[in-house]
Each structure stands twice: as structure tokens, then as C-alpha cells.
Structure 1
Amino acid sequence: MIVLCLPRHRVIHSDPVLGSVLVLLAAVGCGSGPAAPRLPSVDANSAASDAMRLYDRNGDGTLDADERVASPALAKAARSIDSDGNGSIDQREICAYIESWKESGTALVDVIAEVVLDGAPLTDAELIVEPEPFLGDAYSIARSSTDASGLATFVGAHPQLPGLPVGFYRVRVSKKDAAGRERIPASYNDATELGIVVAANAGNHSRFELKSTR
């Protein structure tokens, strides 16, 4: 069955920190400097269909809270995606949310991640930001490291421009001891439950509060 995506036709408001959002303009005024960033090419309906194929375990055509656990970013964005407020999200709603990225005109958002372990800033940790698989091959993995305050920023596919492309991502945190053993529990690493949504109206600061024992 083919499910057609209907755009939301609503205004997308940018983050209050106006400088953190890089808007894709129809024309660039000057010839110098980096080219205007472009949103990765993603077919909204195909991506939404793939999300349902991957996560709709009971085959009822919706993703409930238990099913969304398998996609940390969808779990995080569920309230925004759920346009009818019934507690579940379906293919049309996911598709419409992805289409809203294009309508917003935003390509990159300067994301700040804050990582806290047992209440203290986690320093010198590696953060791997991985696109959710249903977005396809147009997205790439981004990496960063936390500073003395536990903060990290990202540079994605545009090396001259900070920020990540608008999209759904899962976040993996890694920090190893002197013997090379992983200090971070698997629920934040190989089997991560951490996700972020990068969008003009999603905010650009994500705080992750980790526990060393799970």
C-alpha cells in the first residue's frame, strides 16, 4: 500500500539563538566564502516507509512508545511528530515532519551537546552522531569530543561550516580507560538509547545525563 505524505503547511520558527541556525537561501549574495549548505537529499515518504518497516513490530501501522525505543531520535521527537495527539506516530506523520524540514529552509543547525556522567561533566569523551538508518545514504556520521565542561560541537559534511544537517540521529558516547576498556555503559554506546533531532524548531542544546551503572 502506498501512503502519500501531506505537508503540514505550518510555520516553522527558528531557535531563539538566531545565530545558531544556518538558513539555506535561494541566492547567495557574495561569491566568496563557502557555498550555501544544502539539506541532504531524502525522500520523505520512502524514509517514513522504511521507519515503519524497521520498527513497527506488531504490524499495526503505528509506532507506539515501546516500538520507538528502537529509534532513539524518533522516541525523542515523538511528541512533535504526533500531529493528532493520539500517542502513536504513523507513516504519514513521520513523512510530514520530514517534509517540514524542507519547508523551513534550514539546512544546518549548530548543535551543542552537553554530557554529564554521574552528575559531573564528562571530559575527553568521543561522541559519535549517527543518522537514523531510515534516512538513507545521503547523511554521514559526525564525530566530536567533549571539552573540560563536557561540551561538544560538530562539523558535518560541510567542513567550513559548523553544525549538523537537519535530521534524526542517534548518539553514542565512548570513553576508554588506560587499558583500552570502555567506561561508558552499552546503553549509551553500542546499544545506545540516546537520540537527537536536528531541526530549526528543535533547539540546538542537548544535555545527556549518563549513569555509570545501569
Structure 2
Amino acid sequence: MRVFGKLGLPAWTSAFALCLGCQAGPTQISIPTVNPGTAAAGAIELADKDGDEAISKEEAVATPSLLAVFEKYDANTDGRIDAAEIEGQIASWYAKAPMVFPVRCLVKMDGRPLMGAKVVFEPEPFLGVDLGEGVSDVGAAGDCGPSLLPERLGKIPYGMFCGLYRAKITHPSRQIPAKYNEHTELGFEVSPSLNPNDPPVLSLSSK
């Protein structure tokens, strides 16, 4: 399993170049896409508990990835995310190539790097089954880079497809609360706006 080290801008752009080149020739890979309208309707069906055809911040706990990007998706700042807002954000993933991105995040528990933890990015159920999971171990500085299995990526060394993911974290020797794995509250968006030189932090508490 890959342990993600520090990814500088040259490595990041190289991965993009490989992605751009993966669309032709014998190494062509299949990049799945999500139907924005169908996914948006599925998200509302999953999380909208009061029947107002929108997702409040309280309701977004049912979809951890939407909770993580709530302010970004709430385009009109009315405190709710509706289907049109979700559809618009998902459609933006495919506005231009590439659609495979290197992912970098930091994992800390009680403010300290959670070295040796395993991180799994699991697609939200309303996105369908084609995106696949990303997996990574956490390094000494807390760095990790969940990635698809090599057979999904061809010559691209690592990366994930655009999507909304639930982050599940376990550790071989430390007790991790269920709210970070089995009943995770952690979410992550893989999109063109990712900047691996300014990685998000997945912050855990042992309490």
C-alpha cells in the first residue's frame, strides 16, 4: 500500500500530463463519470429528512462529504443545499480534462500526525458504483494520498476520479472512534479545485 509523501508542484503537474496522455493509444483507461442530475436527486433522497427538497447542515451529517463542502455547495448562502446546487457542482467536475487527480490530505488525531493509520475514501452511495475506493497509509508527518488500484489507472502513477467520498480511518494498534470509520463523519471532495500543496486536514479526536 502506498504511503503518500510530500507532493510538490512538479510531481502534481506530471501526473496531470500523464492523465492527459492516457486518453489515446493502447494504454487508454476508462474514466467513469457521474450523471449530475441523477446524483443530485439521490443525495436529496438520502439526506432530506423534512421533505423540503433541500439538505440543511444538520441533515448533511447523513452525507459526510456534503457536510465537508457545505459552504462551497450552498451557492446562494441560504443555509441549505438544493438539487440544482449539487448538480451544478458535479457538472463542474467535467468542464475540462483531466478527470483523474492526485489527492493529498493530512490525518491528525488530537493534533498529532496519525502515523500508520489506513485511510479509505469510499464514494457516496448516490454517485453509483463505478468510481472505486481510494486507499492510503498515513506517513510520519500525517501525509496520505488515497489512490485507486493501479489496474484502474493504467500508466498514471496514482490518483482518484472526481467525486464525493466518505473517509474511513483505522489503525492497527490505536483505537479509533467509530465516528471516523464504521459511522464516519469525515468527507472529502475530489475535484479540479484540489491543490495538493495546500492539503485539507482530517482532524480526529480520541474522545
Provide TM-score, normalisation by structure 1. Answer: 0.80
> Do the aligned residues in 1 keep the contact of 2:123 with 2:164 (CA within 8 Å)?
yes
Q: Detail structure 1 runs of 4+ shifted over 4 Å in the superposition.
A: 16-19, 27-32
**Which residue of 168, 193, 206 maps to 1:172?**
168
* Structure with more of its chain in helix, by fraction: 2
Label 1:134 to 1:149 Cα distance change in 2 as closer, same or farther (>3 A).
Answer: same
Please tell me the root mean square deviation across aligned C-alpha atoms, in Å: 2.4
Q: Measure the CA separation in 2 of the matches of 1:192 and 1:30.
A: 38
Label 1:63 to 1:150 Cα distance change in 2 as closer, same or farther (>3 A).
Answer: same
> Which has the higher Rg, Structure 1 or Structure 2?
1
> Do the aligned residues in 2 keep the contact of 1:127 with 1:171 (CA within 8 Å)?
yes
Q: Give the corresponding residue for 1:149.
A: 141
What's the offset of the Cα at 1:52? 0.6
Q: Relative to structure 2, which stretch is displaced further, 69-78 or 47-56? A: 69-78
Q: Measure the CA separation in 2 of the matches of 1:72 and 1:116.
A: 18
Q: How does 1:1-214 map to 2 (within 5 A)?
A: 17=9, 20=12, 22=16, 25=20, 31=25, 34-35=27-28, 39-156=31-148, 157-158=152-153, 160-161=155-156, 162-177=158-173, 183-204=175-196, 205-213=199-207
Partner SS, residue 94 of structure 2? helix
Q: Measure the CA separation in 1 of the matches of 2:24 and 2:132.
A: 28
Q: Give the corresponding residue for 1:9.
A: none
Label 1:20 to 1:118 Cα distance change in 2 as closer, same or farther (>3 A).
Answer: same
Identity in percent: 30
Q: Give the corresponding residue for 2:3.
A: none
Partner SS, residue 115 of structure 1? strand
Extract unaligned runs of 5+ from structure 2.
Answer: 1-7
AA of the residue aligned to 2:176: I
